[in-house]
Protein backbone atom coordinates (compact mmCIF):
# COMPACT_ATOMS: atom_id res chain seq x y z
CA UNK A 1 0.00 0.00 0.00
CA UNK A 2 1.23 3.48 -0.81
CA UNK A 3 2.14 5.92 1.90
CA UNK A 4 0.19 9.11 2.44
CA UNK A 5 3.22 11.12 1.32
CA UNK A 6 3.49 9.31 -2.02
CA UNK A 7 -0.23 9.76 -2.63
CA UNK A 8 0.10 13.45 -1.75
CA UNK A 9 2.92 13.81 -4.30
CA UNK A 10 0.77 12.07 -6.92
CA UNK A 11 -2.17 14.31 -6.03
CA UNK A 12 -0.02 17.43 -6.42
CA UNK A 13 1.32 16.19 -9.75
CA UNK A 14 -2.22 15.45 -10.97
CA UNK A 15 -3.41 18.92 -9.95
CA UNK A 16 -0.49 20.57 -11.74
CA UNK A 17 -1.06 18.43 -14.83
CA UNK A 18 -4.74 19.41 -14.81
CA UNK A 19 -3.76 23.07 -14.71
CA UNK A 20 -1.28 22.66 -17.56
CA UNK A 21 -3.81 20.80 -19.70
CA UNK A 22 -6.57 23.28 -18.89
CA UNK A 23 -4.33 26.10 -20.11
CA UNK A 24 -4.22 24.46 -23.55
CA UNK A 25 -8.01 24.50 -23.87
CA UNK A 26 -9.20 27.36 -26.05
CA UNK A 27 -12.15 29.40 -24.82
CA UNK A 28 -13.81 29.01 -28.25
CA UNK A 29 -15.18 25.47 -28.22
CA UNK A 30 -14.75 24.89 -31.94
CA UNK A 31 -11.05 25.79 -31.74
CA UNK A 32 -10.29 22.76 -29.54
CA UNK A 33 -9.21 19.45 -30.97
CA UNK A 34 -11.59 16.57 -30.46
CA UNK A 35 -11.01 14.79 -27.16
CA UNK A 36 -9.21 17.66 -25.42
CA UNK A 37 -11.94 18.31 -22.87
CA UNK A 38 -12.54 14.58 -22.42
CA UNK A 39 -8.83 14.09 -21.59
CA UNK A 40 -9.22 16.70 -18.86
CA UNK A 41 -12.16 14.78 -17.47
CA UNK A 42 -10.02 11.62 -17.30
CA UNK A 43 -7.43 13.50 -15.26
CA UNK A 44 -10.15 14.61 -12.85
CA UNK A 45 -11.23 10.98 -12.37
CA UNK A 46 -7.65 9.93 -11.61
CA UNK A 47 -7.30 12.76 -9.13
CA UNK A 48 -10.56 11.71 -7.47
CA UNK A 49 -9.08 8.24 -6.95
CA UNK A 50 -6.13 9.83 -5.14
CA UNK A 51 -8.54 11.73 -2.93
CA UNK A 52 -10.29 8.48 -2.02
CA UNK A 53 -6.93 6.91 -1.12
CA UNK A 54 -6.05 9.88 1.06
CA UNK A 55 -9.39 9.62 2.83
CA UNK A 56 -8.57 6.06 3.87
CA UNK A 57 -5.34 7.28 5.47
CA UNK A 58 -7.13 10.11 7.22
CA UNK A 59 -9.63 7.67 8.80
CA UNK A 60 -6.85 5.73 10.51
CA UNK A 61 -6.53 6.02 14.23
CA UNK A 62 -3.98 8.67 15.35
CA UNK A 63 -3.45 9.91 11.81
CA UNK A 64 -1.47 13.15 11.50
CA UNK A 65 0.03 14.98 8.56
CA UNK A 66 3.80 15.37 8.56
CA UNK A 67 5.51 18.71 8.02
CA UNK A 68 6.41 17.69 4.47
CA UNK A 69 2.81 16.69 3.77
CA UNK A 70 1.60 20.08 5.06
CA UNK A 71 4.00 21.69 2.59
CA UNK A 72 2.54 19.57 -0.23
CA UNK A 73 -0.97 20.51 0.90
CA UNK A 74 -0.10 24.20 0.57
CA UNK A 75 1.24 23.60 -2.95
CA UNK A 76 -1.93 21.72 -3.84
CA UNK A 77 -4.07 24.57 -2.51
CA UNK A 78 -2.16 27.10 -4.61
CA UNK A 79 -2.35 24.97 -7.77
CA UNK A 80 -6.00 24.15 -7.16
CA UNK A 81 -6.85 27.84 -6.72
CA UNK A 82 -5.25 28.67 -10.09
CA UNK A 83 -6.97 25.68 -11.69
CA UNK A 84 -10.35 26.72 -10.29
CA UNK A 85 -10.05 30.25 -11.70
CA UNK A 86 -9.07 28.91 -15.11
CA UNK A 87 -11.91 26.38 -15.17
CA UNK A 88 -14.44 29.02 -14.08
CA UNK A 89 -13.36 31.23 -16.99
CA UNK A 90 -13.62 28.32 -19.45
CA UNK A 91 -17.01 27.33 -18.05
CA UNK A 92 -18.32 30.87 -18.47
CA UNK A 93 -16.98 31.09 -22.04
CA UNK A 94 -18.48 27.72 -22.99
CA UNK A 95 -21.80 28.56 -21.34
CA UNK A 96 -21.99 31.84 -23.26
CA UNK A 97 -21.33 30.03 -26.54
CA UNK A 98 -23.95 27.39 -25.79
CA UNK A 99 -26.53 30.09 -25.03
CA UNK A 100 -25.67 31.86 -28.28
CA UNK A 101 -26.06 28.61 -30.24
CA UNK A 102 -29.41 27.92 -28.57
CA UNK A 103 -30.64 31.45 -29.40
CA UNK A 104 -29.54 31.06 -33.01
CA UNK A 105 -31.41 27.76 -33.27
CA UNK A 106 -34.58 29.33 -31.84
CA UNK A 107 -34.45 32.22 -34.29
CA UNK A 108 -33.80 29.91 -37.24
CA UNK A 109 -36.80 27.75 -36.21
CA UNK A 110 -39.06 30.80 -36.44
CA UNK A 111 -38.03 31.41 -40.04
CA UNK A 112 -37.83 27.75 -41.02
CA UNK A 113 -41.39 27.39 -42.35
CA UNK A 114 -42.24 31.05 -42.84
CA UNK A 115 -41.71 31.10 -46.58
CA UNK A 116 -42.85 27.58 -47.39
CA UNK A 117 -46.58 28.32 -46.99
CA UNK A 118 -46.61 30.95 -49.71
CA UNK A 119 -47.95 29.75 -53.03
CA UNK A 120 -45.71 30.75 -55.88
CA UNK A 121 -47.70 29.68 -58.90
CA UNK A 122 -46.27 32.37 -61.08
CA UNK A 123 -49.07 34.87 -60.63
CA UNK A 124 -49.64 37.67 -58.21
CA UNK A 125 -53.05 38.73 -57.03
CA UNK A 126 -53.26 42.17 -55.49
CA UNK A 127 -55.81 42.12 -52.69
CA UNK A 128 -55.98 45.86 -52.21
CA UNK A 129 -59.44 47.43 -52.09
Mean pLDDT by 10 residues, the chain (129 residues): 83 93 86 85 93 90 89 93 93 90 82 59 64
CB neighbour class for 60 (10 Å; exposed up to 12, middle 13-18, buried from 19): exposed
What is the predicted pLDDT for the residue at 31?
A: 82
- How many H helices and E strands in the chain? 3, 0
What is the predicted pLDDT for the residue at 62?
A: 87
- Identify the CA nearest to 93 among candidates 22, 20, 17: 22
Amino acid sequence: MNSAKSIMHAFLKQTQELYERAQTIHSRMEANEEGTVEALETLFFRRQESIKQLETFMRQKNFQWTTEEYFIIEQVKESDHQLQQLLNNLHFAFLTQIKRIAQTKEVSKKYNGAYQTMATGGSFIDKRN
